[in-house]
Amino acid sequence: MKTQMMKILFGVSLLLLAPSFSLAQKPRLITHWENFTTGNGMPDEKVFCVAVDGNRVWAGTEDGLVLIENGKIQKVYKTEDGLAHRVVMGIAVDKATGDLWIATFGGVSHFSGGHFENFTNLTSGLLNDIVYGIAVDGKYVWAATTAGISRLNTYTGEWTNWSEKNAPLHEPWGYGVAPAGNKVWFAVWGGGLIEYDKSQGYMKAYTDPDEEMELVLFRNQGLIHIIVSNVSYNPDTKMVWASTYFGLSGYDGRNWHNYLTKDSGLASDFINAPKSRRNEVWACTDKGLSYLDYKTGNWVTYRPSKQGGRGEIEITWADMKKTKLETATSLAHNYILNLDFQGEDIWVATAKGLSHGIREPQKETQLYASIRNHRSTREIAQARRQESR
């Protein structure tokens, strides 16, 4: 009888504890990495940007544009092939036509059907040839340049430019652009986050409310810092995310959500680019790749382990406890410049190559099973209630 009772109790506690093993509450993990470096066909180790288009992955490097398909580098395009400049800083895929618009240090290239058509400061109305960011928004192509923002109307051929002369750009260095429905957002290095309202035709600047370069006095009352390196818009959540050299900012149109390393799982405050989808926001930092699931408040950071060749996963739970896991393979480097999504996988531009991060659910299960001292969300909530009494 007693044994029977014990069995029943054990079964019930297993049931009670079952949510702790529910993968739905644990962050998804990238468990395997494949890297593309100069050793296996990349023209240069510095990869500045990456864009996924179905089965095709485009990577912009310091020496050309790379096409990867079926797990292999299919083609490298250089200036001899017609690319405007060897340094490729941004790639935008026009999903409607299959064309690419490419931001380079020598102007904008339009790549279509195997042919390059280039736009420079001398041959077109492009404001400046040093182009960092590019985006396609219907019939418009937006370019973030070091002299401001250019927009091409591809139907009429008209170029429109915004600089410090006609826009609230404290500094003119455009670093990133993200279309967002009836708005377009721009990352301006030293100039903050710029919002362009398409229907009204005006630009509005969001800058750091405390105006302090080194301090964060007003935590969630505005953009965390004016040195904004890139911007990403999430149409699912309608949030815009700005990466800065001093933290990560998210804005939902009313409230700001700012993150620093000191009180989050962010790998570093020095962030090169954000990317957001679903409930995730990813931060490409100089010390690894971090992502936040802001529904659960859990962070995950990927970086190469100090043990050569292996990868490190650091989970920062909502209660700030950390869990470290190890994978057999790793990111090419911890200096992360950009990323893009391909289903559950990710492609990551790093300073030493392009990394393909693959999610393997089975492997993920094994990793979580290996965790000791893990607490479920319910346990965390219970612990908090206890602490507050």
Enumerate binding residues for another protein (CB under 8 A).
Answer: 96-99, 110, 112-115, 117, 121-125, 127-128, 139, 147, 154-161, 163, 165-166
Distance of CA 23 to the CA centre of its chain: 24
Q: What's the closest the beta carbon of residue 368 comes to another protein, in angstroms? A: 39
CB burial of 181-204 (b: ≥16 within 10 Å; e: otherwise) equals: eebbbbbbbebbbbbbeeeeeebe
| DSSP β-ladder status, 88-93 and 72-77 | unpaired
Q: What's the closest the beta carbon of residue 341 comes to another protein, in angstroms? A: 20
What is the secondary structure of 120-170 as a DSSP string?
-TTTSS-S-S-EEEEEEETTEEEEEETTEEEEEETTT--EEEE-TTTS--S
- Asked if 257 contacts 248 with a C-beta cutoff of 8 angstroms, the reply is no
Is the four-CA dihedral 304, 306, 312, 317 of positive or negative sign?
negative
- Other CB atoms within 10 A of residue 161 CB: 18
Q: Which is nearer to another protein, 101 or 299 (CB)?
A: 101
220: closest CA among 167, 258, 189, 172? 258
Distance of CA 271 to the CA centre of its chain: 9
Q: What's the closest the beta carbon of residue 52 comes to another protein, in angstroms? A: 15
Q: What's the closest the beta carbon of residue 151 comes to another protein, in angstroms? A: 11
Q: What's the closest the beta carbon of residue 106 comes to another protein, in angstroms? A: 15
At position 319, the amino acid (one-letter code) is: D
* Separation between Cα atoms, residue 208 and residue 192, nearest integer Å: 7
Q: Which is nearer to another protein, 70 or 386 (CB)?
A: 70
- Asked if 242 contacts 252 with a C-beta cutoff of 8 angstroms, the reply is no
Q: What's the closest the beta carbon of residue 114 comes to another protein, in angstroms? A: 6
Burial of 328 (0-12, 13-18, 19+ CB in 10 A): exposed
Q: Which is nearer to another protein, 101 or 259 (CB)?
A: 101
Q: Which is nearer to another protein, 123 or 388 (CB)?
A: 123
Q: Which is nearer to another protein, 56 or 287 (CB)?
A: 56
* Separation between Cα atoms, residue 107 and residue 93, nearest integer Å: 17
Measured in degrees and rounded to the nearest 5, phi and psi for residue 108 equal: -110, 130
DSSP 104: E
Q: What's the closest the beta carbon of residue 81 comes to another protein, in angstroms? A: 13
Q: What's the closest the beta carbon of residue 131 comes to another protein, in angstroms? A: 14
Which run of H or of E encompasses 366? helix 361-369
Q: Which is nearer to another protein, 158 or 326 (CB)?
A: 158
Q: Which is nearer to another protein, 121 or 258 (CB)?
A: 121
Q: Which is nearer to another protein, 123 or 373 (CB)?
A: 123
Q: What's the closest the beta carbon of residue 161 comes to another protein, in angstroms? A: 5
* Separation between Cα atoms, residue 226 and residue 56, nearest integer Å: 35
Q: Which is nearer to another protein, 168 or 209 (CB)?
A: 168
Q: Which is nearer to another protein, 94 or 195 (CB)?
A: 94
Which run of H or of E encompasses 368? helix 361-369
Q: What's the closest the beta carbon of residue 57 comes to another protein, in angstroms? A: 17
* Separation between Cα atoms, residue 376 and residue 119, nearest integer Å: 55
